[in-house]
Amino acid sequence: MKKTVDKNLTSEEAALSRRFFAYLIDWYVGGLVTALPIGLISQKLYGTMTNQNIMEFDAPFGVIGGVLAVIFGILYFVVIPLFVYRGQTPGKRICKIKIVKVDNSEVDIKSMCLRQIIGMIVIEGALVTVSAIWHQIFTIATGIDVVVPLMYAGMAVGAVSAVMVVFMKNHRAIHDYIGNTKVVSCK
């Protein structure tokens, strides 16, 4: 398999300020995208979009809204960086940074799924809205309330990951190690 390297990349890791602002943009916009199907279902069922807690929805609408929200979240955090903006979420594109493999080659489906789904959404569970949604779906499906414990666990893991980005020489987060990726500046 031929590795492609983007000629518009620098070999330097992305500035922490750019990475932080990209995160804020993606946290906000990704949260809106993720919440859209839940809000629409809430509007249809209850006449308001303010109820975002799918555990309070009548069955089966909580699960339907949750699954659609997870799909929308994956579209934002995985599909867009794979097929629309090669290695970039909208926030990363605005901030001129990019996700690449550690050898500077383009990310592929495996690395993006490992990084974004397993690393960010599942393990660092408090960093993106879609994490809270899958916690709620799991709770609805099993009857075991895991929302609060997984939220606190995700906050702890997310804090460790943030410390790694700030203080480690290579500025890689836990999700970068899981996906064998890094974030670099674009020209």
User: What is the arrangement of strands in the sheet containing 9-13, beginning at the earlier edge strand?
Assistant: 9-13, 181-186, 97-101
Question: Residue 149: its pLDDT value, please?
Answer: 96
Q: Which long-range contacts (CB under 8 A, 24 or more apart) does 107-115 make?
A: 107/81, 107/82, 107/179, 107/181, 108/82, 109/82, 111/179, 111/180, 111/181, 112/78, 112/81, 112/82, 112/179, 113/78, 113/179, 114/178, 114/179, 114/180, 115/175, 115/176, 115/178, 115/179, 115/181
- Helices assigned H by DSSP within 3-128: 16-46, 61-74, 90-94, 109-112
Question: Residue 60: its pLDDT value, please?
Answer: 96
Angstrom CA distances, 75 to 91, 113, 164, 173, stand at 14, 11, 27, 22
Q: Look up residue 54 and give its DSSP letter.
A: G
Smallest CA-to-CA distance from 111 within 183, 182, 179 is with: 179
Question: Residue 102: its pLDDT value, please?
Answer: 97
Residue 69: how many other CB atoms lie within 10 Å: 27
Given a contact cutoff of 8 angstroms between Cβ atoms, the answer to whether 13 and 102 are in contact is no
pTM for the predicted model, two decimal places:
0.91
Candidate from 1-15, 35-49, 76-90, 98-112 with smallest mean pLDDT: 1-15
Domain ranges of the chain: 10-186
Given a contact cutoff of 8 angstroms between Cβ atoms, the answer to whether 116 and 141 are in contact is no
For the stretch 10-65, pLDDT in tens is 568 899 999 999 999 999 999 999 999 999 999 999 999 888 899 999 999 999 99
Is residue 98 predicted with pLDDT exceeding 70?
yes
Give the separation between CA 41 and CA 158, rounded to whole angstroms. 30
